[in-house]
Amino acid sequence: MSYFMVDVEADGPIPGEYSMVCLGIVIVDPLLNRTFYGRIKPISKLWVPKALAVSGFSREETLQFDDPKKVMEDLDGWIKAETTGKPIFISDNNGFDWQFVNYYFHRFLGSNPFGFSSTNLGSLYKGVVRNLSRNFKHLRLTKHTHHPLDDARGNAEALLSIAKRYDLNIRLK
């Protein structure tokens, strides 16, 4: 299995009516040097200024970003090239990140290489430490900046720390 730590920035709360602005993915392995970053042109005329502001981009900038179909084709090819076994989607907020990635894969390519499931890093940590009020974010080394590659890398660092600290049986390649 290959573990893909994913982070998405969007200009609204749901896919379809709003758009994924950019996404960053880091393959979880000791080096954390295999990454994907895409900036995506809006697919909707709707957008929420406060949501878009989180990404650090203006609406005018996003209108110049890459074609969504091309980004998703590139991402699909990268996932296939980088995967050993089944690709596993992991995210800090998979309820948000997953919905956008899944929607875009199905809308533009007709299928999602991750299948129909994802893993939530926060829930994994709560289960490992057996405490529903605990948070993993202190385990990040990379500052959380809302640039999706920084945030995915920080979350991948946290997962590596959790795996080492709690002797999780995950195979990282």
Report CA-CA distances (Å) from 65 to 12, 20, 40, 56: 17, 11, 5, 14
Report CA-CA distances (Å) from 110 to 5, 13, 107: 22, 22, 6
145 exposed, middle or buried (CB, 10 Å; 0-12, 13-18, 19+)?
exposed
Q: How far apart are CA 20 and CA 126, in angstroms?
A: 28
Tell me, yes or no, if 146 is annotated catalytic.
yes
Report CA-CA distances (Å) from 169 to 21, 45, 70: 34, 45, 36
Catalytic member of 106, 144, 146, 147: 146
> Which residues are known to be catalytic?
146
